[in-house]
Amino acid sequence: MALLALALLAIPWLVPSARGATAFRDGLVTNLGLLVFALIGIVAYLGLAVIRRRLDQAFSSWRPWAIGALVLAFTSGLLGFFRPDWQLGGVFLNEVTAGGDLGHLMAGNLIGVLAWLGIGIAAFAVITPNGTQATALGIGRGLRAVWGWGLPVRALHSIGALVQLVFPTRTPPQGTEKVPLDSMIWAQQAAAEEAVAVKEMPAEPTEPAPPPPETGEQVRLPLNGSGEEEDDEAPGGKSRQAHDGWQLPTLDMLADVANTEGQPDNAERAKLIVVTLASFGVDVKVIQINEGPTVTQFGLEPGWEIKTKKVLERDEAGRPVLDRDGKPKANLEEVSRTRVRVNQITSLANDMALALSAPSLRIESPVPGKPFVGLEVPNQSAALVTLRSIIESPQFKRMAIRSRLTLALGKSVSGEPSVTDLAKMPHLLIAGATGSGKSVCINSLIACILMHASPEEVRFVMIDPKRVELAVFADIPHLAFSSIITEMDQVVGTLQAVIHEMESRYRRFAQIAVRNIDSYNKHPSVESKLPKWVVIVDELADLMMAAPYEVERQLCRLAQLARATGIHLVVATQRPSVDVVTGLIKANFPTRIAFAMSSQVDSRTIIDIAGAEKLLGRGDMLFMATDAAKPRRLQGVFVSDKEVEEVVNFWTQDRFQGIETDLFDHLLEEAQAAAKEKPEPNDDPIMEKALNLAREHRTISTSMLQRRLRIGYPRAARLMDDLEERGFVGPSEGAGSRKVLLPISDGDGAIDLEMEEGAEVT
């Protein structure tokens, strides 16, 4: 309190007066000048800190006091340049400068001025360290640029030439004319440019060209000056290089199309959403807007439901208070306040779609990790998500350093690139109706791997029952087998060959005591690394119709065991029914992609929830990751046929003809030979139960198999067809029952189920 009072009394103490003049006051003014007011301010600040009991906080950090001292010292030097005709106390400032003797000390001579400038630089450095660093770097770059222009060197050369011209120190040769200064400089510059041009010209080869590489030898192109391999034949300039020496396609092969079409005003749409919900009595507030390539997500924060009641206003005597009209006054008082329920917002989806003129809306309630409900409204025009834009993103570059199986999926509703690693999935199930973007997604995944993986790192096994979807990749050196599998009778043998490769890798791991392919490839005793395999099945429904039991068993076996060996599955189907995507297959494929579905049932079959039936098609997808509780909406990557052809042409060019990649066709031959030699097994437990049931009866029907084995009709019908093909039951006799051709077992006796024609077995 005393410090604050002292500061307040110091101001009138400085007023010029003979009575108040003291030696102490005049000494302060003489030494500090106008900065004496700063001293008073510091005393007042300390007094307030003592009163508020914050004195410890005032001295908790040295930085503010250091900044204040440097700023006051710099201000004192600045005031030292001025001599105003003012009187402060008993001192005239025109005699001691506005900064007092301290300011005059810094402004009165060259050394003081340099010290004052140093104090200013120190103050700037303490106040903004980052700004000081940026300024220093900018000055350094400017000096380097000036030095790079050669201005100092040219100036020195010009001065030397001028001195030599005016005061020659050497006698010119006889018969030589004097050359003007400007001509001499031009000649020197021309000679320098000619020397640079000669230096940049490629040297003629002095040695004969090396012989073509032998079989199995990698092609390595000559290095340029920067240490990178040159590639004059590759479209788009220089090719990138893989870790093992293979060349990789350039990014110029991929299109980079920017969306130039305008989008509707999201602020107006946000207001329309709030007004529409308010008209139904639902209070919300739009707190976030995320504009994506296909949809825009509006973050809706639920408001409050406030219940009020009227309360009469009364005076001190308890009588009602009347207004001018003689009516009793009433006030509204809040009775309760509750949050708006989320289902009140989701139930109005159709009304919001009508107000926004949108074909469909999707509500995510709530958005994972966010405190709001996400309302996804389709954009007026969908933006194109190119493969190049995802590959050039920082997210993809960081993940591609660690894994050759990095996949570019697309962009989220907020426009963020979505990147994932197939090695961590470890298998992917893709489903979507016709025209939803399923085939484009498969092509983009294959092209993404081809862009940054060599045949020594990744191999493909492609199964294409349609014969045309994957035909463009028939000649790439990444294929594990010599051709793409298109015949249905070869599918089971192909999957069995992949299983043999998996078992062979496990035997190799056991020999050197490692657990997975990464540890095996890093082991010092391994000479040749194992490539990772990606098995792509374009249409699962066709495989399940041809050989349902074998395909389901083989896919599940690979999905359960193949991850550690570096074998990964990508299975796609356009008919996600329960007889195609069975429970076993879905349990072993935790990572799934659902494109636009035709019904809610199909959506639940793939991702276990509804929502895929509301997607917009053309790459609009729901991505269910292994570590996510809910699927995430993405706009898939689009790869045109021209881009795919460019990438395939790069891998099928003449530059790779001298390289022969190892093929694994012997695995197919071994699997086919084993299938012919080994009798057909009856490992299916349901088939064993059906055979036991048939042995106990003289006739059997599909409905009996359903009832006794507790299976669905499609499975029972396939079992009946298999029993007929193997000769265990006879053909249908018209009433649904079939005659059993097996001997009846000695159990409880035979039960005759032969029925009259037209009867039904229940």
pLDDT of residue 1: 62
DSSP summary character for residue 344: H
Mark which of 79, 107, 127 sits at the end of a domain: 127
Instruction: Give the mean pLDDT of 82-96.
Output: 76
Q: Which residue has the higher pLDDT, 52 or 585?
A: 585
Asked if 489 and 548 sit in the same domain, the reply is yes
Lowest-pLDDT choice from 18-22, 67-71, 78-82, 86-90: 18-22
pLDDT tens digits, residue range 296-314?
999 999 998 888 888 888 8
Per the CB < 8 A criterion, the answer to whether 489 and 549 are in contact is: no
Instruction: Give the mean pLDDT of 462-469.
Output: 89
Lowest-pLDDT choice from 143-157, 250-264, 354-368, 505-519: 143-157
Measure the CA dihedral 364/370/375/378, to 10°: -100
Q: Which of 538-542, 568-572, 746-750, 755-759 has the highest mean pLDDT?
A: 568-572
pLDDT of residue 161: 58
Q: Which residue has the higher pLDDT, 109 or 610?
A: 610
pLDDT of residue 141: 67
Asked if 458 and 391 sit in the same domain, the reply is yes
Amino acid letter, 173: P
DSSP, residue by residue, 609-642: SS-GGG--STTEEEEE-TT-SS-EEEEE-B--HH
Say which CATH number the domain at 704 has.
1.10.10.10
Instruction: Give the mean pLDDT of 727-747.
Output: 72
pLDDT of residue 653: 80
Per the CB < 8 A criterion, the answer to whether 751 and 696 are in contact is: yes
Asked if 545 and 644 sit in the same domain, the reply is yes
Residue with tokens 């590489």: 213
DSSP summary character for residue 697: B
Instruction: Give the mean pLDDT of 419-423.
Output: 93
Asked if 391 and 371 sit in the same domain, the reply is no
Lowest-pLDDT choice from 119-123, 273-277, 497-501: 119-123
pLDDT of residue 259: 55
Q: Is the pLDDT of residue 381 over 70?
A: yes
Asked if 298 and 357 sit in the same domain, the reply is yes
Q: DSSP 3-state assignment of 547?
A: coil
Mark which of 328, 355, 378 sits at the end of a domain: 378
Give the chain's mean pLDDT.
Answer: 78
Asked, for residue 436, whether it belongs to a domain, the answer is: yes
Asked if 358 and 404 sit in the same domain, the reply is no
pLDDT of residue 180: 43
Q: Is the pLDDT of residue 213 over 60?
A: no
pLDDT tens digits, residue range 561-595?
999 999 999 999 988 888 888 888 888 898 999 99
pLDDT of residue 675: 63
Mark which of 638, 655, 672 sits at the end of a domain: 655
Asked, for residue 237, whether it belongs to a domain, the answer is: no
pLDDT of residue 665: 84
Asked, for residue 231, whether it belongs to a domain, the answer is: no
Q: DSSP 3-state assignment of 699?
A: strand
Asked, for residue 677, whether it belongs to a domain, the answer is: no
Q: State the residue range of the domain holding 87.
A: 2-127
pLDDT tens digits, residue range 500-539?
999 999 999 999 999 999 999 999 888 888 999 999 998 8
- CA–CA dist 553, 545 (Å, integer): 14
Tell me if the bond preceding 302 is cis, omega within 30° of 0.
Answer: no
Q: Is the pLDDT of residue 246 over 90?
A: no
Q: Is the pLDDT of residue 216 over 50?
A: no
Handedness of CA 41, 46, 48, 54 (dihedral sign): positive
Please tell me the total count of domains within the chain: 4
Q: Is the pLDDT of residue 27 over 50?
A: yes
Asked, for residue 516, whether it belongs to a domain, the answer is: yes
Asked if 416 and 545 sit in the same domain, the reply is yes
Asked, for residue 245, whether it belongs to a domain, the answer is: no
pLDDT of residue 55: 67
Asked if 332 and 409 sit in the same domain, the reply is no
Structure tokens at 636: 């898939």
Asked if 413 and 444 sit in the same domain, the reply is yes
Say which CATH number the domain at 562 has.
3.40.50.300
In percent, the amount of the chain with pLDDT more than 70 equals 75
Q: Is the pLDDT of residue 754 over 50?
A: no
pLDDT of residue 681: 47
Structure tokens at 589: 């494929």
Q: How many C-beta atoms surround the C-beta of residue 600 within 10 A?
A: 14
Asked if 352 and 392 sit in the same domain, the reply is no
pLDDT of residue 57: 66
Handedness of CA 121, 127, 129, 130 (dihedral sign): negative
Asked, for residue 55, whether it belongs to a domain, the answer is: yes
pLDDT of residue 215: 35
pLDDT of residue 687: 83
Asked, for residue 206, whether it belongs to a domain, the answer is: no
Asked if 333 and 281 sit in the same domain, the reply is yes
Q: What angle do CA 35, 36, 38 make, to 5 degrees?
A: 65
Q: Is the pLDDT of residue 230 over 50?
A: no
Say which CATH number the domain at 344 has.
3.30.980.40
- What is the β-pairing status of strands 428-431 and 591-594? parallel
Amino acid letter, 714: P
Q: Is the pLDDT of residue 224 over 70?
A: no
Asked if 398 and 312 sit in the same domain, the reply is no
DSSP summary character for residue 566: T
pLDDT of residue 261: 52
pLDDT tens digits, residue range 397-414?
999 888 889 999 999 888
CA 44, chain centre distance (Å) = 55
Q: Which residue has the higher pLDDT, 214 or 462?
A: 462
Per the CB < 8 A criterion, the answer to whether 484 and 470 are in contact is: yes
